[in-house]
Amino acid sequence: MNIVKHQYFSRRDRQSRGHGKAPKLVAVERALAHVKYIQHRPGEDRGDEGREMFNDTEDDLDSKIIRQKLRQQENNKVVAHKLTLSPEIAPADKKAYTREIMEQLGKEKGLDLEWVGVAHENTDHHHIHVVVLGKDRNGRAVRIEKADYSKMREFGDRYMERVHPLEYERLEEKKRALARQRELTKEERIRDGLELPWMHKKIIREQLEPYEQWRKKQRSKEPLEKPLENDKPYFNDTIEAAGKEWSRENSSKELRELTEYLWDNPEERIDKPEFAKLQGWIREKESAGNRGTAEPSKADAVKKTQDKEKTSIEFNGQKYHENSSYEKLAGLNTKLREDKSARLPIDEYNMLRGWLENADRARWSGVMDKQLEMSKYQWSVEGAKSVSPTRAAPQISPMTQAIMRNPVVGLFMTGGSIAKELVSWIPLTDQRDRLKEGKDALEAAKLDKVQEHNQPGRSEERKEGDRETIEKLDKAIEQNQATRDESNKEKKRKKWEREHEEAWDKYDPWGRY
């Protein structure tokens, strides 16, 4: 696996504004600073003249050449792209490795890319920095999108497979062993009742960490504070999230999409200090956008203090607070998703998502106990109708015993008799509502596509395709609902005929009794 990280220097970035200079000049200065950094960053691998720079044809390239070319990119929308290539296997010839990836990328995109690379060997994991000019040698604009990352990783894998076959095979075997270990761990968790593939994950979550325990832990956590300032230069002050590197250079929209993605995917959430840093970047950009300047003001300090004391949110004339229902909070969250122009300040948005998560946990609280009581009641009512007083007590079958050994199932089954009675209620005929199953499948597909559409870093072209797919799914759901309505009408008609069939039999062919 080859890790690929990508960012770019653009005059449209907020990072290029508010410096008292033209944004295009600031973008060039940032690109020049990055080139200086990758060549002269402190480390044992740095020589007296800095690290060696190379491109597709030359070794030990004069850094003056690339600096001059960057200045010539001043009027481009994108001055330069910066890539970081981090192969899991350190290639013997890093220049050949980089040249093959960049050559294949240029062929794939139909561009004659102009770039310069610098290898860093002063860290635990060797990597190569690549700076790609905003226009190729033929004057065409260079765009590097998310889809290109996987292609570059594939180009790197093919190089390693050809040039370092033994190391590549050992790495692949290690990955297969890790995958097998994950499968064994999952099977063990299933055997121990800690995970069930057929049960709702929120039910499992509630059993592993009941709501009251989770809520107590949340109250004991310290509030999100301002991250500590560090002495890293802006181009090296980054965080890793969602498989990508992020910094102040990203737009406010991209950083907010990342925040939304992290709330939606708990398993990919980042450490608290890094999340605080991410929120700080968004606040800076929102504050600068509202004022048209990057300098803080006393009014901002007062507003920030007021925001910390807020216990409710107002949106479109409605008030939302911690005790609002899950449906109400989820409805507001859906509105914010659908209408990107309607935004809450980032602190209020985080407050909303925290309330929503709490309400979601609360509605699943005690779900097993509720299911148990329902099962007991149904068994007592239905069983009284079908079981005679002289009937022998039901015996627990070996299969029921095997089921009852699972501790999760044991949470909502008090005995083998309940399990056996529940199994006896299952009809032998096909009672499924296939139209409903079809609707559920369509809605699940729509939800998956919406999540893909909302992933941070997704290109506008792919988002347009997502919207077209979502529109088609909406039409299919409407057609399904119309068919279900017709089916329900037919069922009601047949039911009415059955109920009145006995009355019709009392009449003779002439309508007389």
CATH number for the domain spanning 148: value is: 3.30.930
At residue 489, the pLDDT reads: 86
Q: What count of other Cβ atoms lies within 10 Å of the Cβ of residue 431?
A: 7
Same domain, 9 and 147: yes
At residue 130, the pLDDT reads: 92
Distance CA 18, CA 16 (A): 7
Same domain, 353 and 420: no
462: in domain:
yes
Same domain, 159 and 172: no
352: in domain:
yes
Q: Dump pLDDT digits (tens) for 311-365.
A: 889 888 889 998 899 889 998 998 888 887 788 899 999 999 999 988 988 888 8
pTM above 0.85, yes or no: no
- Residue 367 burial class via C-beta count within 10 angstroms: exposed 0-12, middle 13-18, buried 19 and up: middle
Same domain, 139 and 83: yes
**CA quadruple 113, 115, 121, 126: dihedral, nearest 10:** -20
Percent of the residues in the chain that have a pLDDT greater than 70, as a whole number: 71
Same domain, 136 and 183: no
306: in domain:
yes
Q: Dump pLDDT digits (tens) for 273-325.
A: 889 889 989 988 888 765 544 444 555 555 555 555 678 898 888 899 988 99
Same domain, 406 and 486: no
Does residue 3 have a pLDDT over 80? no
79, 11 contact by CB (below 8 A)? yes
Q: Dump pLDDT digits (tens) for 139-148.
A: 898 998 888 8
**Domain region containing 192:** 168-198
Task: Quote the mean pLDDT of the chain.
Answer: 77
80, 114 contact by CB (below 8 A)? no
At residue 98, the pLDDT reads: 92
C-alpha 344: how far from its chain's center? 20
62, 49 contact by CB (below 8 A)? no
322: in domain:
yes
102: in domain:
yes
Q: Which of 461, 451, 446, 445 is nearest to 147 (CA)?
A: 461
Distance CA 79, CA 28 (A): 6
Does residue 441 have a pLDDT over 70? yes
Between these two residues, 430 and 462, which has the higher pLDDT value? 462
Does residue 424 have a pLDDT over 70? no
Same domain, 446 and 499: yes
Phi/psi zone of residue 163: left (φ > 0), alpha (ψ -120 to 50 degrees), beta? Answer: alpha
Q: Predicted confidence band at 132 (pLDDT cuts at 50, 70, 90)? A: very high
Helix, strand, coil % (nearest 5) of the chain? 60, 10, 30
Distance CA 424, CA 417 (A): 11
Percent of the residues in the chain that have a pLDDT greater than 90, as a whole number: 8
Q: What is the mean pLDDT of residues 368-372?
A: 67
Same domain, 328 and 349: yes
- Residue 345 burial class via C-beta count within 10 angstroms: exposed 0-12, middle 13-18, buried 19 and up: middle
At residue 240, the pLDDT reads: 84
Same domain, 16 and 136: yes
Does residue 394 have a pLDDT over 70? no
Distance CA 299, CA 314 (A): 20
Same domain, 92 and 212: no
Number of domains composing the chain: 5
462, 150 contact by CB (below 8 A)? no
245: in domain:
no
At residue 382, the pLDDT reads: 59
513, 506 contact by CB (below 8 A)? yes
Q: Predicted confidence band at 415 (pLDDT cuts at 50, 70, 90)? A: very low
At residue 352, the pLDDT reads: 92
**DSSP secondary structure letter of residue 198:** T
Distance CA 205, CA 196 (A): 11
Same domain, 151 and 54: yes
Same domain, 444 and 475: yes
24: in domain:
yes
Q: What is the mean pLDDT of residues 152-156?
A: 90
Q: What is the mean pLDDT of residues 85-97?
A: 87
Identify the three-state secondary structure at position 184: helix
DSSP 239-259: EEETTEEEETTS-HHHHHHHH
Half-sphere CA count of 246, side-chain side, radius 13 A = 27
At residue 384, the pLDDT reads: 56
Q: Which of 344, 363, 382 is the last residue of a domain?
A: 363
